[in-house]
Amino acid sequence: MTTLSVSHLTVNYQQVPALRNVSFTLAPAQVVGVIGPNGAGKSTLMKALLGLIPVVTGTLTYGDRPLSQQRQRVAYVPQRSHLDWTFPTTVWDVVLMGRVVSTGWLRQFSTASKRLAMAALERVGMADLRDRPIGQLSGGQQQRVFLARALVQQADLFLLDEPFTGVDQKTETLLFEVFHELAAAGKLVMVIHHDLGAVVKEFDRLILLNKELIATGDRRQVMTADNLLRAYGGLAHFGQAA
């Protein structure tokens, strides 16, 4: 069984701590929500898992080896607002980017890769729009394209940064459908979500962060008035509405 374990993780930006001493373990085959207020270090946690930023202390293991030796098992969907949507590229080209590393240097995409890309686009309902420039997609459609790109990586661990921000209801439903399918196939899906709306019910497990780990467990263990007060401070009432 491939467990993700984060132990005593501390991350700084120019000496200012963004995450302090965070530890948790996650079993596979579940959809995990990472929640917490703005600036809580949720994106930082994901970037540390991905090796995009240096960690000060802490170990990240996946299965019985360091996560850093198993990058090809991880798929990442960056925050939509951090991408350049005016870039001259199409849905199809973006999805194929998920096959670049497995294709290898100096090679062209194989027929198998193209078939995977087509299947992923069909799964997210974007096959008809595959030739469309990415700048002409709605927020929900953009998010589906990136989900398709993650799917073709055939990873075991999926990390998604705020996939629900600015997407329509239909896309939200579809995203959760796919997440649950992945979990049913034994994958671990970690999803950052910054508010505490009704969707929190959809997660099998939650990680509540605010610079440090406030709580982790199922919804009832995490969403207590006390935890929310510690994470959100005066805004805790906003959480209890969920």
Partner 1 sequence: MLSWILEPLQFAFMQRSLAIAVAVGIICAAVGCYLMVQRLALLGDALSHSLLPGLAIAYIIRIHLYVGAFIAALVSTYLISLIHRRSPVKEDAAMGVVLSGFFAAGITLITVIQKDNKIDLAHFLFGNLLAVTADEVRDTALIALVVVVSIILLYKELLFFSFDPQGAEAAGLPTQRLHLGLMMLVALTVVASMKAVGVILVLAMLITPAVTAYLLVPRFHHVMLASVVCGVCSSIAGLYLSYYFNLPSGPAIVLVLSGIFAIAFAWHQWQKTRAPSATIF
Judged by the rule CB under 6 A, the positions of this chain that interact with ligand ADP are: 13, 18, 36, 38-44
Residue ranges in 66-125 that form contacts with partner 1 under rule CB under 8 A? 71-72, 74, 76, 78, 82-84, 87-90, 93-94, 96-98, 100-101, 103, 105-106, 108-109
Residue number with CB closer to partner 1 (136 or 173):
136
CA atoms of 177 and 91, how far apart (whole Å): 21
Residue number with CB closer to ligand ADP (44 or 171):
44
The answer to the question of residue 148 lying near partner 1 (CB under 8 A) is no
CA dihedral sign, ordered 143, 147, 152, 153: positive
Q: What is the DSSP string of 138-184?
A: -HHHHHHHHHHHHHHTT-SEEEESSTTTT--HHHHHHHHHHHHHHHH
Torsion angle of alpha carbons 135, 136, 140, 143, nearest 10°?
-40
| Partner touching 36 among Mg ion, ligand ADP, partner 1, none, CB below 5 to 8 Å by kind | ligand ADP
**DSSP helix/strand/coil, 125:** coil
Stretch that binds Mg ion, among 42-50, 146-154, 179-187, 201-209 (CB under 5 A): 42-50
Strand partners, 202: none
Residue ranges in 32-71 that form contacts with partner 1 under rule CB under 8 A? 47, 50-52, 71
- What is each CA distance from 196 to 33, 162, 172, 219, in whole angstroms? 10, 12, 15, 11
Residue number with CB closer to partner 1 (17 or 51):
51
CB neighbours of residue 241 within 10 Å: 8
The answer to the question of residue 142 lying near Mg ion (CB under 5 A) is no
> How many residues are given for the chain?
242
Instruction: State the minimum distance, in angstroms, from the CB of residue 42 to Mg ion.
Output: 5
**DSSP helix/strand/coil, 13:** strand
The answer to the question of residue 210 lying near Mg ion (CB under 5 A) is no
Residue number with CB closer to partner 1 (71 or 115):
71
**Which residues form the interface with partner 1 (CB under 8 A)?**
47, 50-52, 71-72, 74, 76, 78, 82-84, 87-90, 93-94, 96-98, 100-101, 103, 105-106, 108-109, 133, 136, 138, 153
